[in-house]
Amino acid sequence: MGLPDFGPSTDLFSHHCEVHSHNAAATAEQNGKWSGIGAAAAALQARMALEDLFQPLTVRSLTTPNRFAMAPMTRQASPGGVPGPEVADYYRRRAAGGVGLIITEGVRLPDPAAGYPSSIPTLAGDDGLAGWRRVVDGVHREGGTIAAQLWHQGAERDDADGVVPVSPSGLDGLGRPKGRALETAELPELAELFARAAVTARDIGFDAVEVHGAHGYLLDEFLWARTNLREDGYGGPIGGRTRFPAQVVAAIRAAVGPDYPIIFRFSQWKGLDYQASIAEHPEQLQELLAPLVDAGVDVLHPSTRRHYAAAFPDHNERVDALADALATDDSPDPLPLLRELIVLGVRATSGSRIRAKRYRLFNEIEALRHRDVLGDLDYERVIVDHLMSRSVDEFHARVLAVSIMGIARSALTTWAHDPSCDPGNAAEAALEQLR
């Protein structure tokens, strides 16, 4: 539950903050109210356990020494496509610093149309492969693991060298004509090009491969309705747009065998459109990605520009759970159940000292605080709608909703600075006074 910051905690909250051991998920289940929220909170708390970050993670043949991973970052530091000693040292230092899994910068496929400029490394040629062996060996000596990101730029390839870019429909990320559309007959060979590059990466010693399907590049152009206008079964509805990326994954899986890990990177945002969206809601995203998993993807790697901004701002399971719980109330007085649910929500949000530290961080960073404030407006809307349905006039319903959320937020702020207290007790006492 994200709640607006109403400033420092009051004596009222300090007075009622007693030491209390509380299992949020169990309580929610016990009371039969907001159980989904309690379970979600418990799951989040489990995932956030600090010690888990330092534990190994195994995916097929890959075992990372910890849960820290370095995402790909384009460097253009390999003249002629050959990663030199400086590149090897760059990645070695990251492994020495404790990164468990390194995903390389985009490595262009051995096809002139796959990428530009030539300073982007490639998986081809004796010198290029020798360079990548130095990279892999250096990372392994430091105890790290490394995956090669396979990259085809599609229509986003610069054509300054005279090579014509190829893409699903000959369109760039703004929908403008650029390059040419791939013929249907060309697609199987292109999928095999990905597969051969994956085998090369495996044979060099890379621990996994990542397929670049994000940011408006070739495979993402197939996924995105704006850049995929094909009418040959590889466009149109989601099933068609996913078909070729899934065939690429299937070709890689067939080539590398059942135990070699495949990662797939995807994104909503694009290099030419930060507001783009390949899916309008979670169910649609699941429909888009499921064929990739069925084809052999082991890890989905979402790329986001703003981690504090929800991908689907209109979809909030906790808000929906609150609305559903309130809808079951047919008692004459709407406040008792509302008060009970808010207290449960506060307790579900609180928990370990790690979560308290996270909560303080969210309050201290403006962008994160902004995200929570926006989320709280959804809770307020649900409360207002509920109260108005029970014949409370709109003005008083809004006053009550803002007051209730302010109490919840203040109770959590107090807890965040003193994790030994039970913010539910504080919220309950304040809500009783509000009543």
Closest CA to 157 of 88, 209, 212: 212
Report the pLDDT value the prediction gives residue 370, as an integer from 0 to 100: 63
**Residue type (1 letter), 256:** V
pLDDT number for residue 371: 62
Say which residues have a Cβ less than 8 Å from residue 82's Cβ, sequence separation at least 6.
Answer: 121, 125, 127, 128, 131
For residue 19, the one-letter residue type is V
Q: From the candidates 90, 91, 116, 217, give the one annotated as an active-site residue.
A: 217
- pLDDT for res 49: 57
CA 282 to chain centre: 12
Q: Is 147 exposed, middle or buried (0-12, 13-18, 19+ CB in 10 A)?
A: buried
The tokens describing 369, both together, are 């605080």
Q: Which amino acid is at 60?
A: R
Please tell me the CATH code under which domain 61-297 is placed.
Answer: 3.20.20.70
Determine the pLDDT at residue 205.
Answer: 98
- The phi, psi pair for 167, rounded to 5°, reads -160, 175
**Cα 371 from Cα 47, distance rounded (Å):** 21
* DSSP code per residue over 231-293: -SSSSSSHHHHHHHHHHHHHHHHHHH-TTS-EEEEEESSBTTBTT--S-SSHHHHHHHHHHHH
Q: What is the pLDDT along the chain (435 residues), one digit of tens a residue?
A: 443 333 333 333 444 444 333 343 443 444 444 444 445 545 545 554 577 889 999 999 999 999 999 999 999 999 999 999 999 999 999 999 999 999 999 999 999 999 999 999 999 999 999 999 999 999 999 999 999 999 999 999 999 999 999 999 999 999 999 999 999 999 999 999 999 999 999 999 999 999 999 999 999 999 999 999 999 999 999 999 999 999 999 999 999 999 999 999 999 999 989 888 899 888 899 999 999 999 999 999 999 887 767 777 666 677 778 888 888 888 888 888 888 888 888 887 776 666 677 677 667 766 566 666 666 788 888 899 989 988 899 999 999 888 888 888 888 888 888 888 888 888 888 888 877
For the chain, which residues make up each domain, given as ranges? 11-48+312-434, 61-297
Tokens representing residue 2 in the block: 């994200």
Distance, CA of 237 to chain centre: 24
CA distances from 315 to 44, 359, 379 (A): 18, 22, 12
Residue 27: CB atoms within 10 A of its CB come to 18
The residue count of the chain comes to 435
Task: Give per-residue pLDDT as tens, 181-217.
Answer: 999 999 999 999 999 999 999 999 999 999 999 999 9
Structure tokens that stand for 301 in this block: 């790697």
Q: What are phi and psi of 295, to 5 degrees?
A: -80, -15
Q: At what angle do helices 423-434 and 394-417 cross, to 10 degrees?
A: 150
Q: What is the pLDDT of residues 404-424, one digit of tens each?
A: 888 888 888 888 888 888 888
Q: Tokens 């949000």: give the residue.
A: 349
What CATH code would you report for 11-48+312-434?
Answer: 1.10.357
Q: State which amino acid sits at residue 423.
A: P
**Contact of 153 with 115, CB cutoff 8 Å:** yes
Of 1, 4, 12, whose CA–CA distance to 40 is shortest?
A: 1
Spatial distance between the Cα atoms of 396 and 388, rounded to a whole number of angstroms: 9
Examine the residue annotation and report whether 217 is marked as an active-site residue of this protein: yes
pLDDT of residue 154: 98
Predicted pLDDT of residue 406: 87
Query: CA–CA separation, 119 vs 28, rounded Å?
Result: 56
